[in-house]
């Protein structure tokens, strides 16, 4: 094994020096894997048998290649070796004379931008590679922006393949100047440029003499000396509660200190409350300890009995987090299904997970120019500034000030896939200044005066399935026995409240949101509310259920085959769609997602509308949602 000035770092080993997490990124074929492979080789971290295998694999996979292909040391997936690209994020652990480096080799292809974002989220330094022959490319700008968006504050521009341009200093200076101009508009604390020839090892660990005009440090020299100040240890204390546990008969919380230092005797507060208490004990893996710093997991016991649960945020007496239910943030969309404003997702921030919707896409950020572009939806790998609304107030820290607690992910509520990742910019002022009034006459009293329980009966189904017809009959039957009702019909509200909305997916989502808010208000008035809407998306019906309350929401699926709907075609919509005169019609060129577990399923094939209405009334009797004479 070639001996160098570093040691390999097997998992589980200990290290007293500073740990620096390094991200490598850049455009496709810029040489990221080759750079890291050469770094490992020149530091003496490649065993002799690996060198033999590398020579063999180079001959097998790179027929016209001279020397060794160092990228094969990292491109472990078969798909990567066959295509010569990086797909997954590969990590390497290296000890230099001064530091331990954790290096992430991330994908360069645009479709794998989300993989690169994962590597950026835990990195201190970004090594951004460009091909000296190609210069700055759109993907270079994209990675530079995403790395900064996810907290990287130090950038190293590696102008690779400098040998392919005859080690040209003017070519290096031009690329350096272009990159500095772009990165200067971002929040980087330091940006340096190094000319590199990864295949021959120029300026990685040592100098070969091919770039005598360059007098700066090699890559390893710079990584060994760059000032990575652990700012999170000097910021105000934050500790998201991970779990509640009992020790020695006493209630305690467990969690990881996100920033600052927590000491025995410290006065701490609970975000969103006026409660304060003092830390009585701190327990680590080895028992009692006097303090815990950022990044350390502890169990904390307090001087007073305080009501805490997972997701709560503990903080010091100064510089408290904002407690609000709306905020502005930057979002990287990571799903092939585009983002739709007002659709409900799950927001995971710290240890808290709550329903959230994007109320407004303020603008998309063009990664090439930094320009702001008006958008109504987001596609895969697009970045935008958005307004967010969460179902309940939560602790919010600005990412620029508290990167550990100011970042979040979005989760699809149906698939549980991570569909987005972002950072908090600031809480919206209107969120903290709005204080709902509480009136003496509430929903319970209004309903009691009417002698009924408020409920929302939500009819959904294809166009022409019979929703409005059956809903109308249900209302007549309820009215006949003295019940107070209101019917919200999709066509009717589109003629007034929702007349500004069309039939795109985005407008359909907003149409349902407004209808659900309207139904909630009528239910608050003590009414029995009947809603007849196509409401084609499960996610939006779920959002309506959560808004109204599961106990008061009854989903009725009018299950009519599309062939029967076409035959009925009471409004002539199917005929228009077939003639090409109507677009965005549900069941034709827009999807309808049938309910999976509706409270009531009405099959219209063998029953009359009146019989189906009676079926709804009977359900209400059995459930005792209402009592009928």
Which candidate in 121, 335, 468, 535 is catalytic? 535
Question: Cβ(443)–Cβ(526) under 8 Å?
Answer: yes
At residue 83, what are phi and psi to the nearest 5 degrees?
-95, -15
Closest by CA to 498, choosing from 506, 524, 530, 507, is: 507
Query: What DSSP character marks residue 382?
Result: -
Distance CA 513, CA 515 (A): 5
Give the DSSP H/E element, type plus range, for residue 329.
Answer: strand 322-333
Q: Which long-range contacts (CB under 8 A, 24 or more apart) does 83-89 make?
A: 84/29, 85/28, 85/29, 85/109, 86/32, 86/33, 86/112, 87/112, 87/115, 88/115, 89/115, 89/116, 89/118, 89/119
The answer to whether residue 627 is catalytic is: no
In this structure, what token pair is assigned to residue 548?
């109204």
Alpha-carbon distance of 423 to 349, in angstroms, equals 10
Burial class (CB in 10 A: 0-12, 13-18, 19+), 22: buried
Q: Which long-range contacts (CB under 8 A, 24 or more apart) does 136-141 make?
A: 136/175, 136/178, 136/179, 136/182, 137/27, 138/367, 138/368, 139/26, 139/27, 139/28, 139/108, 139/110, 140/26, 140/27, 140/179, 141/182, 141/367, 141/368
Helix, strand, coil in percent for the chain, rounding step 5: 30, 30, 40
DSSP annotation string for 61-80: H-TT--S--GGGGT--SHHH
Query: Where do runs of H (alpha helix) occur along 213-337?
Result: 219-225
Backbone angles phi, psi at 563, to 5 degrees: -65, -40
CA-to-CA dists, residue 565 to 473, 545, 570, 608, 614, angstroms: 19, 26, 9, 15, 22
Q: Mind telling me the catalytic residues?
A: 535
């Amino acid at each position: 094994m070639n001996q160098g000035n570093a040691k390999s770092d097997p998992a589980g080993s200990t290290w007293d020096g500073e740990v620096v997490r390094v991200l490598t990124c850049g455009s496709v074929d810029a040489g990221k894997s080759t750079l890291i492979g050469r770094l490992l080789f020149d530091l003496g971290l490649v065993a002799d048998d690996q060198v033999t295998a590398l020579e063999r694999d180079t001959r097998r996979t790179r027929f016209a290649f001279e020397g060794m292909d160092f990228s094969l040391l990292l491109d472990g997936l078969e798909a990567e070796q066959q295509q010569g690209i990086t797909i997954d994020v590969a990590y390497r652990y290296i000890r230099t004379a001064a530091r331990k480096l954790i290096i992430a080799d991330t994908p360069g292809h645009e479709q794998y931008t989300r993989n690169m974002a994962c590597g950026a989220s835990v990195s201190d330094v970004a090594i951004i590679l460009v091909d000296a022959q190609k210069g700055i490319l759109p993907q270079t700008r994209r990675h530079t922006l995403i790395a900064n968006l996810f907290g990287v504050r130090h950038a190293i521009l590696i102008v690779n393949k400098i040998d392919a341009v005859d080690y040209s200093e003017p070519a290096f200076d031009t690329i350096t100047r272009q990159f500095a101009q772009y990165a200067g508009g971002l929040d980087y604390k330091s940006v340096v440029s190094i000319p590199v020839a990864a295949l021959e090892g120029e300026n990685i660990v040592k100098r070969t003499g091919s770039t005598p005009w360059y007098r700066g440090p090699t890559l390893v020299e710079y990584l060994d000396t760059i000032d990575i100040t652990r700012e999170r240890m000097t910021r105000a204390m934050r500790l998201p509660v991970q779990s509640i546990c009992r020790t020695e008969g006493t209630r305690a919380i467990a969690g990881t200190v996100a920033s600052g230092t927590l000491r025995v005797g410290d006065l701490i507060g609970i975000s969103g409350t006026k409660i304060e208490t003092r830390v009585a004990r701190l327990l680590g893996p080895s028992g009692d300890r006097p303090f815990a710093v950022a990044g350390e997991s502890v169990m904390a016991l307090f001087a007073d009995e305080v009501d805490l649960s997972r997701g709560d945020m503990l903080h010091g007496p100064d510089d408290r987090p904002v407690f609000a239910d709306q905020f502005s943030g930057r979002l990287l969309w990571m799903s092939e299904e585009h983002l739709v404003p007002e659709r409900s997702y799950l927001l995971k921030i710290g240890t808290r997970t709550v329903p959230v919707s994007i109320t407004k896409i303020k603008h998309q950020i063009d990664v090439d120019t930094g320009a702001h572009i008006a958008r109504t939806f987001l596609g895969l790998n697009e970045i935008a500034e958005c307004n967010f609304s969460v179902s309940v107030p939560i602790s919010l820290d600005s990412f620029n000030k508290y990167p550990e607690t100011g970042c979040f992910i979005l989760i699809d509520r149906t698939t549980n896939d991570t569909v987005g990742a972002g950072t908090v910019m600031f809480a919206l002022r209107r969120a903290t200044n709005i204080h709902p009034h509480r009136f003496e006459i509430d929903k319970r009293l209004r309903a009691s005066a009417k002698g009924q329980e408020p409920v929302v009966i939500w009819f959904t189904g294809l166009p022409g399935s019979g929703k409005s017809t059956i809903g109308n009959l249900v209302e007549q039957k309820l009215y006949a026995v003295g019940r107070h009702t209101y019917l919200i019909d999709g066509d009717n509200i589109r003629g007034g409240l929702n007349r500004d909305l069309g039939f795109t997916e985005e407008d359909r989502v907003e149409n349902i949101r407004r209808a659900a808010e309207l139904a909630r208000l009528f239910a608050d008035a003590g009414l029995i509310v009947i809603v007849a809407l196509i409401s084609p998306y499960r996610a939006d019906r779920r959002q309506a259920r959560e808004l109204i309350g599961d106990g008061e929401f009854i989903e009725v699926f009018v299950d009519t085959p599309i062939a029967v709907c076409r035959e009925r075609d009471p409004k002539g919509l199917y005929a228009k769609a077939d003639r090409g005169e109507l677009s965005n019609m549900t069941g034709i060129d827009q999807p309808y997602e049938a309910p999976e577990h509706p409270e009531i399923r009405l099959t219209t094939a063998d029953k009359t509308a009146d019989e189906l209405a009676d079926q709804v009334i009977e359900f209400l009797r059995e459930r005792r949602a209402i009592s009928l004479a």
